[in-house]
Amino acid sequence: MLLEVRDLTTAYQGLVAIQDISLEVGEGEIVAVAGANGAGKSTLLKTIAGAESSRAGTITFAGERIEGRAGHLITRAGIAYVPENRRLFPRLSVRDNLRLGSYMFRGQADRDEPLGRVFKLFPRLQERLPQRAETLSGGEQQMLAISRALMTRPRLLMLDEPSQGIAPKLVDEIFDAVVAIREAGTTVLIVEQRLSEVLAIADRGYVLQTGRVVITGTAKEILDHTDVRKAYLGV
Amino acid sequence: MTPEIFIQILASGLLMGLIYALIAVGLSLIFGLMDVVNFAHGEFMMLAMYATFGAVLLIAIDPLFLAPLVVAALFVVGATAYLGVVQYAMRAKANLGMVQIFATFGLAVVIRGVAQLLFTPDYRNLPPNLLGGKTVSLGGIYLPLPQLAGGLVSVAAFTGLWLLITKTDFGKALEATREDAGAVALVGIDKNRVFTLGWGLGAALVGLAGAMLAINYYIYPDVGAPFALIAYVVVALGGFGSVFGALAAGILVGLVEAVSAVILPSSLKAVGIYALYLAVVFVRPRGLFGSL
């Protein structure tokens, strides 16, 4: 397993946001985490990324325990995280945002190599290079945030609600990109509220409810689950 | 007033203004980076002046050549202030702004007190050296050599700072941390490291100004206070956090001060600067180049 989360509990402002969550992500998989607002999906990703500290449990990445490490060290270990609000550097150019993604590499080849991959994935970013990040549309900002994350050459890419606040046409483009990213060898852990769309591209999934895993299985198993059909798909 | 005198006044104002800019830019840099006003900024300058004084006595080479040493020492002072004090003040759970103010203000009081104790409140000045007390005449305009050197050093420092910010990866990391310190971890940057280096850099810049000022200025434990006051005006005038606003505002303050010294009674000499400051903040509260 590339990522192994065991019995993870995180409290956020005194309230337990996730409780005893266990989750696995294998190399080359797309794993979806679904659930309603406030189910703890974002907290789960934040805790793995080191932006939130856990109260109990372990996180093992590529054989190493990473819980409690500072965020920048987790990025350096090979986990790239795209938070819900994207956290771009708004007044820096698209080019500078991308270049900062490869900040931790010293060699020029290491820094340029992922750029070609990013432009192939999102050609429109190449036209926007000199523009400030804040001038991009919501969809383009999401593309830039994913691209900046890919510039760190991660083994695992974690996306938090990449479809949020984005024109429907671009949502498909983002989901297609996620598939392409996996095909290029990067494992993906994706949090989404759009259950049927994300399960269409995921191999497996977890459904959270009030901080706990309530359903887990292959994408098909989850889609066929009666509770899921009732709660999320309205059928 | 003859044209020669007028140019003379402008030239001295410009040179002093460049030094004010150099004093203020570190303050602006640190504020822009992490929204902390360093109330010990003047004390950093005072330490640089004493460091120059001590080094001249100890090593007996010209203060001009000791400046790099003083700058390096102040870099360490700034980084240490962040790591030893400010870092902890920033972890305050409540009243963060107040805690930061009192932390750096307390640091200032401690540094000044220790300086009083170790160096005594006596006024000191450097032994005769290459530049001290000498003037040069350029087409009928007399410029004191220490001020001329200080102005040139300031221009060089701003050029270097501009290159650092716009051309290097570290400059980009600084900019990114200014934009969103909470997001730099996403690209593997340790914000604490950037903050530490930012404090080092800010202190090194005011250290350079102190090293140049020491050449022709009295050195005493409270020397930082009047300069720090001007630096706060420069930073507010130029726009909080704006590095090049500090340069423009520093020059403006130097010019206004030089002109008001001539046209106002000497007891009101400083009024010009603060009148200018009030006028600007009424019209443009964010300062001339601020983007808040």
B244-288 pLDDT tens trace:
899 999 999 999 999 988 888 877 877 888 888 888 888 888 888
Distance CA B101, CA B98 (A): 5
- Residue that wins the pLDDT comparison between A47 and B129: A47
Closest residue in A to B182 (Cα–Cα): A87
Positive or negative torsion for Cα B185, B199, B278, B162: negative
Distance from CA of A18 to the nearest CA of B (A): 22
Q: Which of B174, B175, B186, B292 to mutate to test the interface with A (most CBs of A within 10 A)?
A: B186
CB contact under 8 A, B185 and A103: no
The string of DSSP codes covering B166-216 is HHSHHHHHHHHHHH-GGGGGGGT--HHHHHHHHHHHHHHHHHHHHHHHTTT
Per DSSP, which regions of chain A are E strands? 3-12, 15-25, 30-35, 56-61, 64-65, 79-82, 156-160, 187-192, 204-209, 212-218
C-alpha–C-alpha distance, residues B57 and B257, integer Å: 33
Instruction: Among A13-17, B5-9, B106-110, B120-124, name the one with the lowest average pLDDT.
Output: A13-17
* CA–CA distance, A185 with A188 (Å, rounded to integer): 10
Task: Please tell me which of the candidates A51, A83, A103 has its beta carbon nearest to residue B188.
Answer: A103
What CA–CA distance (Å, rounded) separates A13 from A230?
Answer: 32
Among 1.10.3470, 2.60.120, 1.10.10, 2.60.470, name the CATH number for the domain at B3-283.
1.10.3470
pLDDT digit string, tens, across residues B193-248: 999 999 999 999 999 999 999 999 999 999 999 999 999 999 989 988 888 899 99
Residue with tokens 């036209």: A127
State whether B183 and A89 contact (CB < 8 Å): yes
**3-class SS of residue B70:** helix
- Among residues B271, B51, B168, which one has the least CA distance to residue A96? B168
Instruction: Tell me what pLDDT residue A38 has.
Output: 84
Least confident span in A66-75, A107-116, B148-157, B173-182? A107-116
Report yes or no: A103 at the B interface, CB cutoff 8 Å: yes
Please, which residues have CB within 8 angstroms of residue A31's CB and are 6 or more apart in sequence? A23, A24, A25, A188, A189, A190, A202, A203, A204, A205, A206
Residues B228, B175, B89: CA angle, nearest 5 degrees? 55
The span from the CA of A85 to the CA of A141, in Å, is 10
Distance CA(B178)–CA(B34), nearest Å, equals 7
Q: Which residue in this structure is represented by tokens 């996730």?
A: A18
Enumerate the H helices of B83-190 as residue ranges. 87-89, 96-119, 145-167, 169-179
Share of chain B above pLDDT 70, in %: 99
Q: How many CB atoms lie within 10 A of CB A145?
A: 27
- pLDDT of A73 over the 90 cut: yes
* pLDDT at residue A234, rounded to an integer: 62
**B interface mutation test: which of A87, A141, A148 has the most B CBs within 10 A?**
A87
- 3-class SS of residue B137: strand
- On the 0-12 / 13-18 / 19+ scale of CB atoms within 10 A, B21 is buried
Q: Is B102 exposed, middle or buried (0-12, 13-18, 19+ CB in 10 A)?
A: middle
Choose the mutation target among A74, A93, A103, A110 for the interface with B, i.e. most B CBs under 10 Å: A103
Element spanning B64, H or E: helix B63-81
Are B234 and B276 in contact by the 8 Å Cβ rule? The answer is no
The reply to whether A171 touches chain B by the CB within 8 Å rule is no
Chain B residue numbers touching A133 (CB-CB < 8 A) = none
Please give the average per-residue pLDDT across A133-138, as a whole number.
95
Average pLDDT score over residue span A154-183:
94
Q: State the nearest Cα–Cα gap between A75 and chain B, in angstroms.
A: 5
The answer to whether B233 and B43 are in contact (CB under 8 A) is no
Contact between chains at A151 and B187 (C-beta distance less than 8 A): yes
pTM for this predicted structure: 0.92
Question: In this structure, are residues B241 and B28 in contact, taking their beta carbons and an 8 Å threshold?
Answer: yes
* A202 CA: distance to closest CA in chain B (Å): 24
Higher-pLDDT residue of B281, B91: B91
Is B206 within 8 Å of B74 (Cβ atoms)? yes
Instruction: Return the CA Rg of chain B.
Output: 19
User: A221 pLDDT exceeds 70?
Assistant: yes
Q: Does B175 contact A96 at a Cβ distance shorter than 8 Å?
A: yes
